[in-house]
Structure 1
Amino acid sequence: MCGRYVSSASTADLLAEFDVEEVVGAELRPSWNVAPTDPVRAVLQRPPKEPAEQAAPSKPVRQLRTLRWGLVPSWSPDPKGGARMINARIETVTEKPAFKKAAARRRCLLPAAGYYEWQKTDHGKVPYFLHDPDGRLLAMAGLYELWCDPTLAEDDPNRWLWSCTIITQQATDLLGEIHDRNPVLVPPELQAAWLDCSSDDPATARRILDQIPEARLEPYVVSPAVGNVRNDGPELIQPVELPEQERLQL
């Protein structure tokens, strides 16, 4: 799974990296310890808001928008279950009721400098930071959803909750030794296709997912301080040395 990640890129960097045309929502502070239910930045495509009298729908524009991590399906009675839906498995994402419509209509990218995973050892869990070897931003495949709070007035700005999930796949090679799942990373050549939901068909998402290559990332051990969601800062991604006894086991 992917349960913590780093979102430290500035809005300006994200605009340039993903050719964003419109920014929605306030700029978020950098976070080196993004946790479930936190607000996160997502890249997606939607038609801009237009006056009601406009006859033809406008062309979708690429947006940078703030969502809550942990998908809440539109049919949920309340948003409480979102914290349990931070990830969606690639094997079933186009079939499960919680994700199928979003896979067809609401695909997004979740930018990250990298993510954390914990390897189980005889001495406890060892945290790793996994990132692109060349320092490039990761574009994690995601889905987003809109949930309406029926208890709030129509003009209440909090009436609509925008939430998201990260798609994961079976990890291989070194990544698989650390943890059995990793985020699906969309390469630049497939990002436009992933964000284009005009077909409104989950089969399109399935076809794109089947084309995405395996993730090739560089892991290194970091401080156990990352395990506490109250800790945040660039020091969390600094490599640390394992005690000799633990190095021998690994």
Structure 2
Amino acid sequence: MCGRYVVARATADLVSIFDVQDVGDGLPDPAWNIKPTNRVPVILESAKGEDEVIRRLEAGRWSLTPSYSKELKTKFATFNARSETAAEKATFRGSVKSKRAILPADFYYEWHTEGKTKTPYAIHSPNDELLAFAGLYTWWPDKSLPEDDWNYWTLTATILTRTAVGEVSQLHDRTPVTLPPSFWDEWLDAGQEGDQTLVDSAVAAATPVAEALEFHQVAPLKGDGPELLKPISS
């Protein structure tokens, strides 16, 4: 799973890395202790009005709320979605079809549990290259507001997870789907109708990235800053 993560790069860096054409408002500052429902950077491809499809960087709420939900807060946790079943679950299948995203990260955290003891670890690529989590998104309408209200639409997003492989499987049995750059365009392609086959292809493409992930133990997560990534002895 992925319950906390880090985005340490500035908006300009994300724009350059992902060839973003349009940058939305209210993007969050770099953060080292991102939690579910926090605002996070979300890369997606869509059209604005009658315009052609472009790649956009938007601020989204990390926990997907389907558009049919009456409330923004969901009954069950939706910050992660299992890749094996995302295409069949009512909450996620519409997004698999036409609203796929990438959520960038520099690190993510996982807790290894032994008995009642949970030990946090920071997980990253071998060269600290950016991680691109395969995600899904929706625009949730707050129907208590008039449609022309600035807050009527809320972008919400989730991170797809898979069975853990490689060294990180020692920590937890699930891990995010970490897309390589060669699969970014295919995953984001708004003109491609997504299904379970596409999700499975994303998982397969992500396997080499997942197998290469490294990690180190960190102190309990308190506050928000780069010091949270400091390695400590086990």
Normalised by the length of structure 1, the TM-score is 0.88
Match of residue 7 from structure 2: 7
Deviations 1:29-64 (A, max 9, x none): 110000000000011111134xxxxxxx43211111
**Secondary structure at the residue paired with 1:200?**
coil
Match of residue 201 from structure 2: 208
- The count of aligned residue pairs is 231
Rounded Cα–Cα distance in structure 1 between residues aligned with 2:31 and 2:76: 18
Match of residue 223 from structure 1: 219
Match of residue 21 from structure 2: 21
**Secondary structure at the residue paired with 2:199?**
helix
Match of residue 182 from structure 1: 175
Q: Report how far residue 141 of structure 1 moved.
A: 0.3
Q: Report how far residue 122 of structure 1 moved.
A: 4.3
Q: Which blocks of at least 5 consecutive residues in structure 2 are unaligned? A: none
| Contact 1:146 1:162 (C-alpha < 8 Å) held by counterparts | yes
- Quick check: 1:95 aligned with 2:114? no
- Quick check: 1:84 aligned with 2:77? yes
Query: 2:226 is aligned with what amino acid?
Result: P
Match of residue 236 from structure 1: 228
Rounded Cα–Cα distance in structure 2 between residues aligned with 1:82 and 1:32: 27
Identity %: 40
- Quick check: 1:46 aligned with 2:42? no
Rounded Cα–Cα distance in structure 2 between residues aligned with 1:133 and 1:209: 20
Match of 1:61 among 54, 57, 69: 54
| Contact 2:183 2:202 (C-alpha < 8 Å) held by counterparts | no
Query: 2:5 is aligned with what amino acid?
Result: Y
Q: Report how far residue 3 of structure 1 moved.
A: 0.3
Rounded Cα–Cα distance in structure 1 between residues aligned with 2:91 and 2:153: 17
Rounded Cα–Cα distance in structure 1 between residues aligned with 2:157 and 2:53: 19
| Contact 1:140 1:184 (C-alpha < 8 Å) held by counterparts | yes
Closer, same or farther: CA 200–82 of 1 in aligned 2, 3 Å: farther
Rounded Cα–Cα distance in structure 2 between residues aligned with 1:83 and 1:133: 34
Q: Report how far residue 213 of structure 1 moved.
A: 3.3
Tell me which moved more, 147-156 or 63-72: 147-156
Q: 1:111-190 counterparts in 2 under 5 A?
A: 111-122=104-115, 124-190=117-183
**Secondary structure at the residue paired with 2:36?**
coil
Query: 2:39 is aligned with what amino acid?
Result: P
**Secondary structure at the residue paired with 1:154?**
coil
**Secondary structure at the residue paired with 1:155?**
coil
**Secondary structure at the residue paired with 1:75?**
coil
Deviations 1:122-169 (A, max 9, x none): 471110000011110000000001111111111111111110000000
Q: Report how far residue 83 of structure 1 moved.
A: 7.0
| Contact 1:91 1:169 (C-alpha < 8 Å) held by counterparts | yes
Q: Which blocks of at least 5 consecutive residues in structure 1 are unaligned? A: 50-56, 243-250
Q: Report how far residue 212 of structure 1 moved.
A: 1.7
| Contact 1:194 1:208 (C-alpha < 8 Å) held by counterparts | no
Match of residue 247 from structure 1: none
**Secondary structure at the residue paired with 1:139?**
strand
Normalised by the length of structure 2, the TM-score is 0.94
| Contact 2:3 2:36 (C-alpha < 8 Å) held by counterparts | yes
Rounded Cα–Cα distance in structure 1 between residues aligned with 2:67 and 2:27: 26
Larger radius of gyration: 1
| Contact 2:45 2:188 (C-alpha < 8 Å) held by counterparts | yes
C-alpha RMSD over aligned residues: 1.6
